[in-house]
A and B are shown apart, each in its own frame.
Chain A
Amino acid sequence: MCSALPVKGKSVPDIFRKFNHIKALHDSIVEEAGSDPLAVRIEEISAGARAKIRGRDCVLMGSNNYLGLTFDGDAIEAACAATQACGTGTTGSRAANGSYAGHQDLENVIAEFYGRDKAVLFTTGYQANVGFISAIAGKDDYILIDSESHASIYDGCNLSHATILHFRHNDAEDLAKRLRRLPEDACKLVITEGIFSMRGDRAPLKDIAAAAKQYGAYLMVDEAHSLGVLGANGRGLAEEQGVEDQVDFILGTFSKSVGTIGGFCVSNHPELDMIRLAARAYLFTASLPPSVVASAAQTLGRIQNEPGLRKALWENTDIIYDGLKTLGFDIGPDKSPVIGIYMPSLPEGLRAWNSLLENGVYVNLALPPATPEGVCLLRCSVSAGHTKAQLEAVLEAFAALYDELYPSAKKLAAE
């Protein structure tokens, strides 16, 4: 535990003492799991969702690499060429150091991808949410967020000066009730997500858009996990549900299906460029390096032009989602490549995570406060890059895990 430390001869409280309760919880997690699930070392990584962890070959079932494009040959070539031509980094923000041509070209690519007039790049998806939300909402405005929103949405809200309200998860009626209570002439921004990152469920976007529009609210959708995954052209939930014309702002990231890093906002609002002058997460951070910009532009083209990638992803999703359900696991209600498996308790979740890793399957361990309702989840993300043999091996490991977790169910089945 952190305690008082002497500083220049005086005894003062340790500035780290505020983390004592986190440290105690972390220590207990490490002890229960037998290793630190939050500090896994990937010793080797290769195409096809394979990695070496603890000296063992593993299938990566927790990478968010939905389309399996991190080793795309053309993207790697484009990244190498951009590095040769423009160097390894921009060493500053676009406001200070200028925009490289690649930044502006990529903004045109992403705007065209979504069929929108304008796009603004950010250095990460987290910064896109934090930067956009904190800039767009002022002190007289209202932001209404889903109660299970991602941390970056909460953080953006906290940095804004707006009044923040939440509505019940995926409940458009509850949203409408809250909108009804607000002043008619106030600016209101409703925020939801395409696919929620922990349980893989989707927002009822048609109903949410209808409520937002009925009460004159702007609508923002974070399509971080749905870009490349949903919609005939991979534009996400708004495309899938046919409500793109009712979504004012789409936020997203290149760090999942696009296979690199970076964030963006697209919109038809004629003043979107004001975000460049107001969002501190845009103004005061270094811009994306040329290699990342080049690979993102390359990969977005593949996402747009190769629907077969999404077909492969959904075929694999069918295998894992249906397989886990058949085994008896308690999983999220919506089928999607993000699959949250409920664990009976935190200690059992830790042991289960470790047991899967010992059997060559890496999944994410998701713990409160990142999870809804304070539950412990094993989070899988399916990839188009998974082979059928890998998926079979994964389900075999989960079958063995089920017997470990629920021995009485195994006994009943045997009887």
Chain B
Amino acid sequence: MEDIDDIVAFICEELSTQVEAAQDLGAETDMTADIAVDSVAVMDLVFALEEKFDISIPLNVLADIHKIGELAALVQRLAGERQERA
């Protein structure tokens, strides 16, 4: 199973280009309320996660995700399901 901290770190790194350098990003960061990530950046982030972890993230699940930690947990679950199928 993928390590949740590694996934959080990957997301933070991807988002770091979108936000002010001084901002601390972490599992509790709310991507819309705290750092105002726009829809284009979300799309890029989703593509990057899908590429990195060989998963497909359903758009209809994304709507309920706000915190980086929640997104990381979703990625971890989807990657786990993929490994089970393989």
Q: Interface of A with B (CB < 8 Å)?
A: 147, 157-158, 163-166, 168, 178, 181-182, 368-369, 373-374
Distance between Cα atoms of A181 and B81 in the complex (Å): 10
Which residues between 40 and 86 of chain B lie within 8 Å of chain A, taking CB atoms?
40, 43, 47, 50, 54-60, 82
Give the chain A neighbours of B39 by CB distance below 8 A.
368-369, 374
Contact partner of A374 among B38, B55, B56, B59, CB < 8 A?
Answer: B38
| Contact, CB under 8 Å: B55 / A181 | yes
21 contacts between A and B (CB under 8 A): A147-B43, A157-B59, A158-B60, A164-B58, A164-B59, A164-B60, A165-B56, A165-B57, A165-B59, A166-B43, A178-B50, A178-B56, A181-B55, A181-B82, A182-B56, A368-B39, A368-B40, A373-B40, A374-B38, A374-B39, A374-B40
CB of A184, distance to nearest CB on chain B (Å): 11
Distance between Cα atoms of A166 and B62 in the complex (Å): 12
Distance between Cα atoms of A157 and B59 in the complex (Å): 9
| Residue of A164, A168, A181, A182 most packed against chain B (CB within 10 A) | A181
| Contact, CB under 8 Å: B60 / A181 | no
Distance between Cα atoms of A147 and B40 in the complex (Å): 10
Give the chain B neighbours of A182 by CB distance below 8 A.
56
| Contact, CB under 8 Å: B47 / A168 | yes
Distance between Cα atoms of A122 and B70 in the complex (Å): 40
Give the chain A neighbours of B57 by CB distance below 8 A.
165
| Contact, CB under 8 Å: A163 / B60 | yes
| Contact, CB under 8 Å: B56 / A181 | yes
CB of A223, distance to nearest CB on chain B (Å): 24
A-B interface, 3 closest residue pairs, ranked by CB to CB distance from nearest: A164-B59, A374-B40, A163-B58
- Output the nearest chain A residue to B63 by Cβ-Cβ distance: A158
| Contact, CB under 8 Å: B40 / A166 | no
- Output the nearest chain A residue to B50 by Cβ-Cβ distance: A178
CB of A38, distance to nearest CB on chain B (Å): 19
CB of A397, distance to nearest CB on chain B (Å): 30
| Contact, CB under 8 Å: A181 / B40 | no
CB of B35, distance to nearest CB on chain A (Å): 16
Give the chain A neighbours of B43 by CB distance below 8 A.
147, 166
Give the chain B neighbours of A165 by CB distance below 8 A.
56-59
- Output the nearest chain B residue to A144 by Cβ-Cβ distance: B56
Distance between Cα atoms of A163 and B56 in the complex (Å): 10
CB of B73, distance to nearest CB on chain A (Å): 18
- Output the nearest chain A residue to B58 by Cβ-Cβ distance: A163
Give the chain A neighbours of B60 by CB distance below 8 A.
157-158, 163-164
Give the chain A neighbours of B56 by CB distance below 8 A.
165, 178, 181-182
Distance between Cα atoms of A373 and B59 in the complex (Å): 17
Distance between Cα atoms of A181 and B86 in the complex (Å): 10
- Output the nearest chain B residue to A161 by Cβ-Cβ distance: B60
| Contact, CB under 8 Å: B59 / A181 | no
Besides A164-B58, A164-B60, 7 more A-B contacts (Cβ < 8 Å) are A157-B59, A163-B58, A163-B60, A166-B59, A181-B54, A373-B40, A374-B38
CB of A355, distance to nearest CB on chain B (Å): 27
- Output the nearest chain B residue to A182 by Cβ-Cβ distance: B56
CB of B48, distance to nearest CB on chain A (Å): 11
Distance between Cα atoms of A182 and B82 in the complex (Å): 10
- Output the nearest chain A residue to B46 by Cβ-Cβ distance: A166
